[in-house]
A and B are shown apart, each in its own frame.
Chain A
């Protein structure tokens, strides 16, 4: 990813007047996601905890982290809910399509939970501990939406 390149978070036709920096850690994450379909975490040299998304500092140890480690792309459902009430998505100004699966995914090798959609094609299989894998977007742009959603695998 070129230094002056920008990540675009789409809000449909709605424009938002904000420009956020994701920093070096976030940039590495999105670059690996887009170019190599890899999910990167970062490991604390003191406690050994692996964080996704990667960030510069382990809060409990207040320790700078530099060691990137690849995690996932599979994992298990750490916890989840199924959203059933309709509400306006403030990111787009449109009603969020419900129901949808809201997953906190424990990616293999990570110690934190990664938030993403869970496919509800077979709702009964969506449960804590169920094995999941990402479904990748056809065109990857270097955003969190490069993963469309996670689906339960047998």
Chain B
């Protein structure tokens, strides 16, 4: 094998606002890096082929599948997980609405749902229920049947729009 190809890669990135330096395995995906190396277990490794959305995290301001990005590719990236978004209270209203509307049961999908919903709400305005469903369609929930999740996201969109108008 050519020496140009490495099986350990040095990366420098920020995770939840903190600088991180690490040496990662070439084939390790971002979710495993966050969970196993940094102890950030909020993003879940589930289907590991991009279908379920449980691993959704924010990279450079946009939601991505943690299982479909290799840790070596995160060099220089700004990563936010549900832990960091909780600490900064960026999604506090969403989290409260998920509880109030019973939008989670087992909670496995919830971190991914929150990151996906945050992205939709960051665009401003009040999305229709159809738009919410479409935007969240890449995140599977096997408990709720989605209705309560759409309720929660819609509630927050309305509340934020109301605050903006006030």
Partners in one complex: no
